[in-house]
Chain A
Amino acid sequence: MPEASPTLYLLAGALLFAIGFHSLLVQPHVLRRVMALNVMGVGVFLLFAALAARTRGETPDPVPHAMVLTGIVVSVCATGLALALAHRLEAAEEEEREDESAGDGRQARAEHEETDR
């Protein structure tokens, strides 16, 4: 099969970035937002790899490839952290609801004061 056309990939990268950016701003659900960030990331990475593929020689430019590898690992780390934070937040909301429904105003108040720290 002939060589890939880098320009197509550059444009697709731009499109993916814009799609992810849009969803990040309009989607309320945390999982969608995390996916949106990942789609933005894929867009950027496609751009980098397409740049690397534009070289005239046999071998593509290894520097963008290395940067993409770094970027992928950073994305996974960010995703893991975001999801852990989301769980922690849900648990905190759940606790708050439990405190309220327990009707023990004292505890809820104490909880509330803690939050301002």
Chain B
Amino acid sequence: MTARADRGHGRASRVAVGALALGLLAALSWAVLSLPGSFDGLTGPALGRLSESGVTNPVTAVLLNYRAYDTLLELAVLLLAIAGVWALRRGDWPAGDLHGRPLVISLLRIALPLLTLTAGYLLWIGAFAPGGAFQGGAMLGAAALLALLSGRAVCARRHTGALRAGLVLGVLVFAGAAGGAAALTGEILRYPPGDADVWILGIEAAAIVSIGLTLGALYLGGRPGDRHA
């Protein structure tokens, strides 16, 4: 194909793509403007059965009880992300050494416990108010990242077994809870009546560790190891 034909082709396809996007926009606008005027969705049942769910924050009730099965598969997506990224390449795990950088060290001494505490708080508060394993996991991810960036990566690299265990903990505990609940109540992820709060907290505690580590490790973009090895 000649350069000019290529350009002509490019312009034609640009116009086509623009028309496609505009058509999509028109269709979507039409669709949302035709939605029924009043809408309660599933608010009624979701709030009505909140007392059976083990938590009082309705979003947490959906995530870890009514639709906990979605969340289990979501943790599978997280596992896949890290398994995929680690399969694709070695990461740029810093071999950092903080000797001689006292300021960074003292900053970390404050930041790490603070972030971890916030994560724990978010996990706990998630049962009654906005917050929960994912938001807490993000905090923990930030903490993990700071720790790794500050040279703990060397340590993590030596203990990849522990790191891997931490990464899969959430899925394993969640899947175990799904199976355990099936054994106790006859239905997958149906928690024993009255104990839902404990089960949810247990699942979330395991999940938050895996979420935090996964997010931190995603940032490093590859499996641990020396890049030039």
Contacts and interface: CB of A to CB of B under 8 A. Distances in A.
B221 A14 contact: no
B25 A18 contact: yes
Nearest to B217: A80
B17 A26 contact: yes
A69 interface: yes
Decide if the interface of chain B is mainly helix, strand, loop or mixed. Answer: helix
Q: How large is the interface on B (under 10, 10 to 19, 20 to 34, 35 or more residues)?
A: 35 or more
Contacts of A18: 21-22, 24-25, 28
Contacts of A59: 43, 47, 58
A66 B80 CA distance: 21
A93 to B, nearest CB: 14
A97 interface: no
A87 interface: yes
Nearest to B84: A81
Nearest to B61: A62
Contacts of A83: 221
A74 B74 contact: yes
A77 B80 contact: yes
Contacts, number: 132
A64 B41 contact: yes
B89 A26 contact: no
A15 interface: yes
Which of A13, A55, A60, A63 gathers most chain B CB within 10 Å? A63
Nearest to A18: B25
B63 A66 contact: yes
A26 B15 CA distance: 10
B85 interface: yes
Contact of B24 (A17, A76, A81): A17
A43 B62 CA distance: 22
A62 B77 contact: no
B41 A63 contact: yes
Nearest to B23: A18
Contacts of B20: 21-22, 25
Contacts of A55: 39-41, 43
A61 B221 contact: no
B74 A22 contact: no
Interface of B: 14, 17-18, 20-22, 24-25, 28-29, 31-33, 35, 38-43, 46-47, 58-59, 61-63, 66-67, 70-71, 74, 77-78, 80-81, 84-85, 88-89, 134, 211, 215, 218-219, 221-222
7 contacts: A22-B20, A47-B32, A52-B41, A63-B67, A66-B67, A78-B81, A87-B89
Given A73-B74, A73-B211, 14 more contacts: A18-B22, A18-B24, A47-B32, A61-B39, A66-B63, A66-B67, A69-B63, A70-B74, A72-B134, A77-B77, A77-B80, A77-B218, A80-B218, A84-B89
